[in-house]
Structure 1
């Protein structure tokens, strides 16, 4: 079927007429030419995109050299993007766009766990059992992660699928580590009959988003730091509830306020505590290790606890097609 662009038939101008285009009438002309489509959602989105982009250029009085620098920058972002490094997502993150999309689209009703940004490092993971370790030997300092999944009425949610991922103790995700050829510090597992879960990982550390590319240049231009506060990502899914994409952040991190992707939230900060409860470690298959505490060698492990609350499944959200 021939499209308008290559059809020999008389094209539909959608009411647009040949006119001398100026800074005042160009925007509406472009919108008219771009609106000859049946998909009302696409028409609405691109009409707004054209309007706001043109308004931005007018309001800031963009000069030719600045516009050239802009498209050259976006070209470099595209060149830096590949399956193991999503530079375009990173750009969206550091501009707060990902956080805004998350806030607007969150289906977590009051009382349920808040959402947070997905980030660029989500990847496929193996299925584990409660008590397994998602981290390889030597990946970092052992940490037990445990809690429950419940609904808004306090009922346990059985068989909720928890998909979690984190950096190793050196602040690298597995896909960033040339010595890793498969998933590490990430895994999937199900909550138990009582909604409980427990899995072993490593204590997260503050780490920098990739800053050796074009997004790093942008951060320098804006005099912003690149380090994310220590955190662990979670995606929790169950057919009876709204899916939850979130993260837990180390309350002691000095970079919570300066998070370059704006994902940290007060309700998602937790204390990561040192425990020497070896009975707890045995019960949860946690491997203790030795560290210095007040100048003495102590045996124990890190502990992160959190209870997740899922929102009830909601009706499909209608997408805007007009103001």
Structure 2
């Protein structure tokens, strides 16, 4: 059988007769058809195809235990948010989800309420509090909130620094009234790592690499669906052009500015500080 652009796609798909997984067969059939249709639509040249291979190879070489360049690629192409939207369609009353991102680390320390997750890092003091409830408004006790963020000046996560230990991370458990509270530094806008192939791609596309200021939160409870989301700082310059398309209006929070004085944890700050309040709602498992 002679193969050409008119029959090659069906021939490739036909070779999967021995595939035992219906789901894998469905995914690979669709992937092959879309890849072949893409090549036909843009009349892909051999030089362009080789450049694509080089780009993917370089992306893989940038990945290690501190950096996941393929997640950055997925995020900046909007694929991560598309997958997120597909998988969380039916969550009426629950807090909106958003991208997981490449900087989560297991094993953040368990901390009491009002503990400082930003100990030793620069930035404006910030106090964050609220509740975790179910979609019926009932408080959820024992929900574990993983939070992680950058420092408050350079916008770097701990894993982006070769020196020093963990910072900007903690696990807070809600009390009987579903309440949580922690101290940190107010997050700042930051560029995603753009010194690799994804950054080069963005520049060639005429795009910037910046994300608006935010705090990540991942909330888990045995009786409820795990929530992965952010809270964003109201008024940030990049809310409308987030490099990874992760902003949702419901997640934008007013970080209220205060002069030096009494703080919500019962202490006192000699510096100006901010406060943010946000209530999360979890969908049933």
State the TM-score, normalized to the length of structure 1: 0.85
Query: How much does 1:122 deviate?
Result: 0.5
d(CA) in 2 for partners of 1:277, 1:192: 29
Query: How much does 1:136 deviate?
Result: 1.8
Query: How much does 1:282 deviate?
Result: 4.2
CA contact (8 A) 1:140 1:168 kept: yes
**Does the alignment pair 1:288 with 2:269?**
yes
DSSP 3-state at the match of 1:236: strand
Say which of 200, 205, 216 aligns to 1:222: 205
Query: How much does 1:192 deviate?
Result: 0.7
d(CA) in 2 for partners of 1:247, 1:129: 21
Say which of 187, 190, 202 aligns to 1:207: 190
Is the alpha carbon distance of 1:27 and 1:64 closer, same or farther for their aligned partners in structure 2, counting shifts above 3 Å?
same
Say which of 190, 212, 220 aligns to 1:237: 220
Quote the residue 1:176 is aligned against: 160
CA contact (8 A) 1:229 1:253 kept: yes
Is the alpha carbon distance of 1:282 and 1:128 closer, same or farther for their aligned partners in structure 2, counting shifts above 3 Å?
closer
State which structure, 1 or 2, has the greater radius of gyration over its C-alpha atoms: 1
d(CA) in 2 for partners of 1:272, 1:140: 14
Quote the residue 1:158 is aligned against: 141
Query: How much does 1:227 deviate?
Result: 0.8
Structure 2: gaps spanning 5 or more residues: none
Query: How much does 1:276 deviate?
Result: 4.4
d(CA) in 1 for partners of 2:4, 2:45: 16
> How many aligned positions are there?
283
DSSP 3-state at the match of 2:239: coil
CA contact (8 A) 1:143 1:200 kept: yes
Query: How much does 1:126 deviate?
Result: 1.2
Is the alpha carbon distance of 1:277 and 1:224 closer, same or farther for their aligned partners in structure 2, counting shifts above 3 Å?
same
Quote the residue 2:132 is aligned against: 149
Is the alpha carbon distance of 1:197 and 1:23 closer, same or farther for their aligned partners in structure 2, counting shifts above 3 Å?
same
Quote the residue 1:302 is aligned against: 274
> How well do the aligned residues superpose, as a CA RMSD in angstroms?
1.4
Is the alpha carbon distance of 1:114 and 1:108 closer, same or farther for their aligned partners in structure 2, counting shifts above 3 Å?
farther
d(CA) in 2 for partners of 1:54, 1:81: 28
d(CA) in 2 for partners of 1:115, 1:148: 17
Say which of 101, 104, 110 aligns to 2:86: 104
Query: How much does 1:272 deviate?
Result: 0.6
**Superposed CA offset, 1:107-151 (max 9, x none):** 661221000000000012111111111112243221111000011
DSSP 3-state at the match of 1:51: helix
Query: How much does 1:279 deviate?
Result: 4.2
